Structure 1
């Protein structure tokens, strides 16, 4: 199903069929001395349609329960889990919080989250490089979520494939650390275009690095003029309260919208 890396065998099969049909069509359509025109047959198929069906089911379920969900996407090592634990520490007294952890292997991140006292479930994707909506929907069964809760979905570390998969979340949040290049928004535009928020993490390291913070923000705005940018450090705690204020405000707006439906 992954349209970029071919990590799902169904996707490989679809590609193979399409390639074969296009090749066969080209052979038929190739003009010869007796042909006045070549025929073009275009075949289109949404390889994400099944995922979108599951995503809509997830969205309806979450909306019905008033659960505000965020899909956290980044490269490996950006500090997603550390940031998530700091968010939980600040919000868990006032809010029910649940976490879905996505990794290819191990349950280490889910164990770190559980140490904060909140309920977390782990999804191991094996060779898969992203979560999909069916996996996430199945994980709901193990969480037993309260109405009006936060749900954080920490995706597999990857800036490419998760961008194309709707999980039924309210917002995609892309996390970039200053130990990476400021040109990431230009190199991986799809996720920065899809995200509502870009978090720039590890700003406490800026004095020791060659990272151009202003340029990074400009690149992100170039790709997505509406993207909101929050600069913070999960380690020092700088500006994490700003992020938490945004989260609570968005959750309140989501709750009002759900009630008005």
Structure 2
């Protein structure tokens, strides 16, 4: 059995052989489109960041904070956003209100974004002349399972874990954290309130992916973004591209 099939079965032990064939076909088609997206991103000189987390961890708030940070700091981050949600344009509207060009993808019942969806959104932003930026953030659908299986061609995969969710998520959802190039602990100012142990998260991550960068951020403290922004800028400067195989 190919390694790809084995991984799918490990992640989804209840799949029947027929279901496995369907899933493999979908993922194969997605991988092909993701490779095409990599060429598109390179042609547009865009550094693309796939932002993943459970619902309510603060992905949109982080992007709003990055926009505010860019107005004040010595490192300018010019970016636009592709938003993924099951319903409503609320997140895209929030970002547009902050002066960030954003395109909303409504997935309906789908709990993840796929490369073809991202391509359509990219083209929509391009039609608006909104891609004269350095970074493109893809805010994936809030989910700690499905997005970890779909390659979107991004250079960097960031996973948010908020203090309100609890410090036990890393080993509960290993597929998600294995695909992360860095982990952001959001709402870090509330760690004590929720008895959230940063050391436990570090120890659990070390079992999965040693030496992965961890950043603590808070929307209440704009300076908490310093190290994260420098990491993103350095990753772009070095031309870093995730080696994770979805």
TM-score of the alignment, normalized to the shorter chain, above 0.5: yes
The 5 Å alignment of 1:8-23 reads 18=18
Superposed CA offset, 1:189-219 (max 9, x none): 0111111000001111122221111011110
Q: 1:116 to 1:191 in 2, by over 3 A?
A: same
Aligned residue pair count: 222
1:90 and 1:237 map into 2 onto residues whose CA distance is: 6
User: Deviation at 1:146?
Assistant: 3.7
The 5 Å alignment of 1:59-208 reads 59-91=38-70, 94-144=76-126, 145-146=130-131, 149-208=134-193
Whether the aligned pair in 1 keeps the contact of 2:87 and 2:106 (CA below 8 Å) is yes
User: Deviation at 1:97?
Assistant: 1.2
Superposed CA offset, 1:153-200 (max 9, x none): 000000100001000100110000111121111000011111100000
Structure-2 residue corresponding to 1:56 = 35
User: Deviation at 1:61?
Assistant: 0.4
Whether the aligned pair in 1 keeps the contact of 2:85 and 2:142 (CA below 8 Å) is yes
Larger Rg: 1
Structure-2 residue corresponding to 1:30 = none
Whether the aligned pair in 2 keeps the contact of 1:91 and 1:244 (CA below 8 Å) is no
User: Deviation at 1:49?
Assistant: 0.4
Give structure 1 stretches of 5+ with no counterpart. Answer: 5-14, 22-43, 256-261
Runs of 4+ with deviation above 6 angstroms: none
Structure-1 residue corresponding to 2:225 = 240
User: Deviation at 1:17?
Assistant: 7.0
Q: 1:115 to 1:45 in 2, by over 3 A?
A: closer
2:161 and 2:221 map into 1 onto residues whose CA distance is: 16
Q: Is the counterpart of residue 215 in structure 1 residue 200 in structure 2?
A: yes
Other structure's SS at 2:166 match = coil
Other structure's SS at 1:176 match = strand
User: What root-mean-square deviation, in Å, do the aligned CA atoms of Structure 1 and Structure 2 show?
Assistant: 2.5
Give structure 2 stretches of 5+ with no counterpart. Answer: 1-7, 10-14, 241-246
